[in-house]
Amino acid sequence: MGLLENKTILVTGVLMDSSIAFHVARLAQEEGATVVLTSFGRTMKITSTIAKRLPTTPEVLELDVTEQEHLDSLADRVREISPQLDGVLHSIGFAPPGAFNFLEADWDDVATAMQASAYSLKALATAALPLMTDRSSLVGLTFDAKFAWPLYDWMGVAKAAFESTNRYLARDLGPQGVRCNLVSAGPIRTTAAKSIPGFEEFERVWDNRAPLGWDVKDPEPAAKACVALLSDWFPATTGEIVHVDGGVHAMGQ
């Protein structure tokens, strides 16, 4: 019996088969789950194509987390596939190019980054909540926000807000039995990463700093952590950030 047998898992953020979200969806299916994907706009076609590379081709629902209408109808649309949601993966992040210049970024760019990359965790959680049970799990992906990373700028600030949002969700959803945790992954060569100016700098230094080593082309370690948190194997863990970064977070400069 798999870790996610008889569970339904909603997975956002599948754009390419190199993404952590894709491997979460794959592993979830291999562990017995029914997986539902989300996408929106022009990327719907891409996600639907990539979905065919999974062991079982899942349904793909349209969901733009910045559109209230999409959020309001999410539960009803998922209910057509499954009566409940046992887990939700938040793998969403976006910032306009201007947000990657800390001192010169304007509020419009910062606001977009904050809504898409931080507030969206709360928005997705409350949209899914009508279908969640007292054993459901919300898992999000972050990039360690304790530090001011080179070039990350307002996306780093958004990730700090994202991590704080997770703690408040853990507080407010805990009484309903819903667990809220994050996986802080090391740099992975994904579509989102390629949109960050100078991301190659992370790639060059991470493997040297990681005591376990680090492969920027391997999203599976982070995906396995997400699947474990989506399962029943962490029944008393919430508000946590699990680092899957080869150990870099624990090392000095």
Which residues are part of the catalytic machinery?
152, 159
| Backbone φ/ψ region at 41: left (φ over 0), alpha (ψ -120 to 50), beta | left
* Partners of residue 59 on adjacent β-strands: 36
* Partners of residue 88 on adjacent β-strands: 10, 138
Tell whether 13 is in a known binding site.
yes
Tell whether 194 is in a known binding site.
no
> Rounded distance, CA 23 to CA 21, Å?
5
Tell whether 92 is in a known binding site.
yes
Tell whether 167 is in a known binding site.
no
Tell whether 164 is in a known binding site.
no
* Partners of residue 90 on adjacent β-strands: 140
Tell whether 196 is in a known binding site.
no
Distances (CA, A) of 231 to 2, 15, 138, 226: 10, 23, 10, 9
Tell whether 35 is in a known binding site.
no
Tell whether 127 is in a known binding site.
no
> Rounded distance, CA 236 to CA 213, Å?
30
Q: Which residues are annotated as a binding site?
A: 13, 19-20, 64-65, 92, 95, 159, 188-192
Q: Which residues are annotated as a binding site for substrate?
A: 95
Q: Which residues are annotated as a binding site for NAD(+)?
A: 13, 19-20, 64-65, 92, 159, 188-192
